[in-house]
Chains A and B, each alone.
Chain A
């Protein structure tokens, strides 16, 4: 092998950089986020089913925003026929009152920085009985 000093150095640097995901997590547990659901006494059902909410709640929120702000329409009828007031603060946050224990769980896990809180106030967690 010619120029082995330079080439082996290069390969070691390459391996060190490209295996970053493997060694940076060494010996660390990666807890799966557990968004805390509201107690059963508050609500048993969301405005849409869990799978949809897990992947597409942001679309729903933006549709609500456009409907309310641009169309002045405040009523959302869910799949099972129940009517809701389209409001982040008064509907969503009424049940999911703790941003840290609910929203941030997954958002931080995936480095998602939604712009909700550019305008909306972060709710104060309610005291639990």
Chain B
């Protein structure tokens, strides 16, 4: 649990840094311009570096995880997606993996429910929570594009409209305005459920490190500060967009009168961006580069030669016999080919070569 406490404290310290930095010291340019640019630069450079670094590691052999019948005889039905035999099948497999998290869907749980018998049962919660979390996060990120585009495209307005379709508000309690956007709540719900799962499932808790807790806490706090800024503090979004557009057009401005809650939110997002390439969050790029997913399982159809295999010099028995046949026959040792056979073979090899050269010469004369 050291990792748990460490991560929680780390995120709280980050909140404190932004609170003191902007609220106390008024370092708005630092937190509103310099840190965001630095974080985004770190994100892109780090991500490209990590992917290129992975690409430099050779994967000489086929190591796909297979979960279905391999393609073999014509009358055995192969499972194309779970045991891909062609590039097309791999593309299909990858699409399902990336969009529907198929490998999480297969998550299993070991238990002893029926006495001493070990049983594996399906455990779909990880898949469900992950699906909630990732898609809600996608919608939230796409919705935030309204701060970075002017004019705002129709699809963005439509998304905003769809996301806010459940208009509910209790005006006298100041709940529900601005329009409740479901993605934010689903995101907070998803990340909380993933966090709770990590806490209450003993096996998962045991293998959890600071690197697992920290992103969860960080994203939880990003959600909380975002929701707080939108619905409770109600930051001045016009000024926020002015600032965001300044960053996007490389003419940074820092308008006055933006609540410190916005800066806390922004700082945590910057930390997420900067932390991203060096963390488990790199599964965003890694999922595309998983050899256990993206390789065609064709080891039986195609010979894969390890490109850096040392070229070993061989000397087969046949070659050995060719070298010493006469001596072996003289010493009375058994040979595969007798002297006559070997001589006939040698003659046969050389004989057709001679007329061929003659033919070519004749043709040239013509």
Residues on the B chain within 8 Å of A30, using CB: 150, 242, 245-246, 248-249
The answer, yes or no, to whether A36 is at the interface (CB within 8 Å) is no
Contacts A7-B51, A112-B178; is A18 near B150 (CB within 8 Å)?
no
| Complex interface residues of chain B between 24 and 52 (CB less than 8 A to chain A) | 44, 47-48, 51-52
Is A125 part of the binding interface, using a Cβ–Cβ cutoff of 8 Å? no
Taking a contact as CB atoms closer than 8 A, the residue among A1, A22, A56, A109 that contacts B150 in the complex is A109
Q: Which residues 65-118 of A have a CB within 8 angstroms of B?
A: 65-66, 106, 108-113, 115
Q: Which of B52, B161, B172, B242 contacts A66 (CB 8 A)?
A: B172
A110 touches B52 (CB 8 A): no
How many chain B residues touch the partner (CB < 8 A)? 45
Find out whether the CB atom of B235 lies under 8 angstroms from the CB atom of A115.
no
Are B56 and A2 in touch, CB under 8 angstroms?
yes
- Number of cross-chain contacts by CB at 8 Å: 103
A36 to chain B minimum Cβ distance, whole angstroms, is 14
Partner of A25, one of B51, B150, B176: B150
Q: For the complex, what is the distance from the CA of A110 to the CA of B147, rounded to whole Å? A: 7
Interface centre among A7, A18, A21 (most CB of B within 10 A): A21
Asked whether A28 is an interface residue with its Cβ less than 8 Å from the other chain, the reply is yes
Q: Mark A16-32, 1 if CB is under 8 A from B, else 0.
A: 00111110111011111
Residues of chain B contacted by A59 (CB below 8 angstroms): 171, 174, 177, 234
Taken together as a complex, chains A and B put the C-alpha atoms of A29 and B151 apart, in Å, by 11
Interface size class of A (residues with CB under 8 A): 35 or more
A25 and B156 within 8 A (CB): no
Give the docked Cα–Cα distance between A59 and B248 (Å): 31
- Output the least CB separation between A22 and chain B (Å): 6
Query: In the docked arrangement, what's the CA distance between A51 and B239, Å?
Result: 12
Give min CB distance, B144 to chain A, whole Å: 9
**Alpha-carbon distance A7/B160, docked complex (angstroms):** 33
Residue ID in chain B nearest A33 by CB atoms: B238
On whether the beta carbons of A7 and B238 are closer than 8 Å, the reply is no
Known: A20-B145, A25-B249. A62 touches B171 (CB 8 A): yes
Contacts of A32 in B (CB 8 A): 238, 242
Chosen A-B contacts, 7 in total, with CB atoms closer than 8 Å, are A1-B52, A28-B249, A30-B245, A33-B238, A56-B177, A59-B177, A65-B171
In the A-B complex, the 9 residue pairs with the closest CB atoms: A62-B171, A21-B148, A30-B245, A55-B234, A111-B152, A21-B248, A7-B55, A30-B150, A58-B177
